[in-house]
Structure 1
């Protein structure tokens, strides 16, 4: 399973492509591609956003679903989804919805 991750061009915020084609600020809103056909569609939509200068640094990351939550496989991507590891009062983990 994969999700599309990038950084929003206007402010550098880590974002994930959601099912409605909007770049969401939380990984839990991401569209999860469960097969090759869905991955191809996700890639097409995400690359169009790069071409339109909405996002940069596009990546397709491996995830798993654990009790309905989207969890990145790699530690690097888990940190990106949560925010800085040295200040828990900053970043995504400091937001009430995180």
Structure 2
């Protein structure tokens, strides 16, 4: 069986807190809900170490669904390259007036609604 495909570098480690379900990012001191505080792995060795830490934290029941996310480095810190992960950093999308998206500098477009 082939090894799982790794995301392109640089990467950060994203997970969900086991207690409250909040999206969290691995930092030098633990976990944070702020993506700008995330540890950034710029080479394969650092990415492997970050991934191993995520697996260890899942086995200690600290977080669930820890995985590496490829990012672009910007002035506001690492930004996920893919829409799914960018959306996860903002929080639930059904109420733009609540959660992380209410604090975001991103302006909502159009009338808020849920597609059926």
Give yes or no for TM over 0.5. Answer: yes
Partner of 1:10: 19
Q: Equivalents in 2 of 1:72, 1:82: separation in Å?
A: 11
Question: How many residues end up aligned between the 2 structures?
Answer: 95
CA RMSD of aligned residues (A): 1.5
Partner of 2:80: 72
Q: Equivalents in 1 of 2:67, 2:53: separation in Å?
A: 13
- 1:11 is displaced (CA, Å) by 0.9
Q: Which has the larger radius of gyration?
A: 2
Unaligned runs of 5+ residues in structure 1 are: none
Higher relative contact order (CA 8 A, sep 6+): 1
Partner of 2:45: 37
Counterpart secondary structure, 1:76: helix
